[in-house]
Structure 1
Amino acid sequence: MAIMETDTTASLTKSNKIIDLHCHLIPGIDDGSPDLEHSLELAHQAVAEGITHILATPHHLDGDYVNHRDDVIKHVTDFQRELDHHGIPLVIFPGQEVHINGDLTEKYDDLLGIDEDKKYMLIEFPHGSVPAYAKRLFFELRKLGTTPVIVHPERNHEIQGDLNLLYDFIADGALSQLTATSYVGGFGEKVQHISEQLVEHNLVQIFASDAHALKGRSFALREAFMKLRTELGQTEVDEFEGNAENLLNGMPVFARDYSRVDKKKKFWLF
């Protein structure tokens, strides 16, 4: 799954690439793009953002959608063919947004990681809570060689009430992914403030779009990186982008300099 340079560059980053590791652009398989027309439009939007590589991550095992490993690989192959046919300079890789379940280790062979060897895997919590078994499951996944990457923790209601719940997972070896739209205010001021705190305390390691073919669910990665550069500098931008590239290639990524969040600070509950 090694990433190659393309003719499309994103000068915002040192690598001249922007990699999106969470996106729902494969047509007709979850609540993302409903059809090929919308998927191609999403692809055009991605290229306009400077995005060069996307991990397609349809929902899996969330109670509404089941997207088996082999099916996702076929869908991605078919969609890449459409992109090439339409001359859209975007490279797509197969992945899943895996909803947390107590029996994921039993279904492990049907799961896709961020990288081909499943060293990293996107894991989604329910929106309202953090399951009590999550730490045990993460331990079991790590024994199998897979580091969990928690998606959009800033939108989980229980974590919103206590950001140190995420700290505990990071301290145990997990990683996490912040939605770019959250960081720039697309989900409201409350989620934006929480997102800024997670970045400030190094509790998230990458941005991703979680883009859907829905109003308000666009990519926003360029805007997020520009804000990150303004507030924390180019080095932070390049680290976030480099982390995304390393995750896709199965290379080492570690949380660094993360810290607990002062509980005296106010965070909004939903």
Structure 2
Amino acid sequence: MLKWFSIKKIEVELDPLDFSVLKTDIHSHFIPGIDDGSPDMKTTISLIKEMQGLGFKKVITTPHVMSDFYKNSSDIILKGLTDIRSELKVQNINMEIEAAAEYYIDYDFEQKIGKEKFLTFGDNYILVELSFMEAPENLFDIIFKLRLEGYNVVLAHPERYAFFTMDDYEELVNRGVLLQINWLSIIGYYSPQIEQKTKDLIAADMVSFIGSDCHNMNHAELYEKCQTKKAWHDLNNSCKLLNNTL
């Protein structure tokens, strides 16, 4: 009796391409004790040292802002940023750090547009995330209103939203949304399906930013594995990334 065996495609590993070509990481959770990221200053400094060792010259840290869970105000976030900068100076660590936020588009986010000054980075970029269950019905209205207020919308880890198709991504990009994929998606950390979707987005030239979305040392220790991946090399060669403009 014949037996059929599936052959797993082996991905070719390339020479490491370090992250100094990017200069800036735009998505992390380094402010101690205010979300599900770093719990304390000691961890924060260790994470920043890891980023420095990977070649980054600057990090833009982006704590979660959620109405019902992480009720972080701009004042709370900026106070945390000041504390980190002070500790970096004390320890003589030469790493530039800024803070924005990762805004969760929940039930009352739309009401805040035009009334609240959101934390942004670079060219008035605002980082937003969605529920992993489904897209909000008012998503396009929110995007329109944000852009009307002068914000450039960056969608965090779009590859992780299983409900989006490639047509949906194209629609978002056509509406002026910039897509930010996660490093760990490239190595299949979340799932093989997310890894494939990430590669599809890169192949379609839809990716404008890449971010670590670093929460802890377990994440930080995996980023080096991304440096030999063809998807990362392809993304860098596309000349579409905006990280190094920040």
| TM-score, reference length from structure 1 | 0.76
Distance 2:51 2:206 in 1: 26
C-alpha distance 52-164 of structure 1, shift in aligned 2 (>3 A): same
Deviations 1:132-182 (A, max 9, x none): 1100110011110112110001111212xx232121111111111000110
Which residue of 72, 81, 94 maps to 1:89?
Answer: 94
Identity of aligned residues (%): 26
Shift of the alpha carbon at 1:69? 1.0
Q: Measured at CA, do residues 219 and 111 of structure 1 come closer, stay the same or move farther in structure 2, by a change above 3 Å?
A: farther
SS in 1 for 2:237: helix
Q: Does 1:208 align with 2:211?
A: yes
Alignment RMSD (CA, Å) = 2.4
What CA distance in whole angstroms lies between the structure 2 residues aligned with 1:104 and 1:230? 33
Quote the Cα distance in structure 2 between the aligned partners of 1:154 and 1:219: 22
The whole-number CA distance in structure 2 between the counterparts of 1:66 and 1:219 is 29
Secondary structure at the aligned position of 1:92 is classed as: strand
Aligned residues: 229
- Cα displacement string for residues 166-204 of structure 1 (whole angstroms, at most 9, x for unaligned residues): 211111111110001101222232211111011111122
Sort the Cα spacing of 1:72 and 1:222 in 2 relative to 1 into closer, same or farther, 3 A: same
Matches within 5 A, 1:247-262: 248=246
Counterpart for residue 244 of structure 1: 243
Q: Is the 8 A contact 2:226 2:232 kept in 1?
A: no
Distance 1:155 1:50, change over 3 A: same
Contact kept? 1:69, 1:111, Cα under 8 Å: yes
1:58 pairs with 2:63: yes
Out of 27, 38, 57, the residue aligned to residue 33 of structure 1 is: 38
Matched position secondary structure for 2:163? helix
Are the structure 2 counterparts of residues 234 and 86 from structure 1 closer, same or farther at C-alpha, using a change threshold of 3 Å? same
Match for residue 220 of structure 2? 218
What is the DSSP-based 3-state SS (H/G/I as helix, E as strand, rest coil) of the residue aligned with 1:54? strand
Partner Cα separation in structure 2 for residue 210 and residue 198 of structure 1: 18
Contact 2:24 2:59 in 1 (8 A): yes
Which of 124, 127, 132 in structure 2 is aligned with 1:127?
132
Partner of 1:141: 146
Code of the aligned partner of 1:47 = Q
Letter in 1 for 2:28: C
Instruction: Give the alignment partner of residue 101 of structure 1, picking from 99, 106, 117.
Output: 106
Unaligned runs of 5+ in 2: 1-16
Larger radius of gyration between Structure 1 and Structure 2:
2
1:178 aligns with 2:208: no
Task: Classify the secondary structure of the residue corresponding to 2:27.
Answer: strand
CA contact (8 A) 1:102 1:137 kept: no
Specify the alignment match of 1:114 in structure 2: 121
Query: Equivalent of 2:167, from 160, 164, 167?
Result: 164
CA gap 1:231/1:47 in 2 versus in 1, 3 angstroms: closer
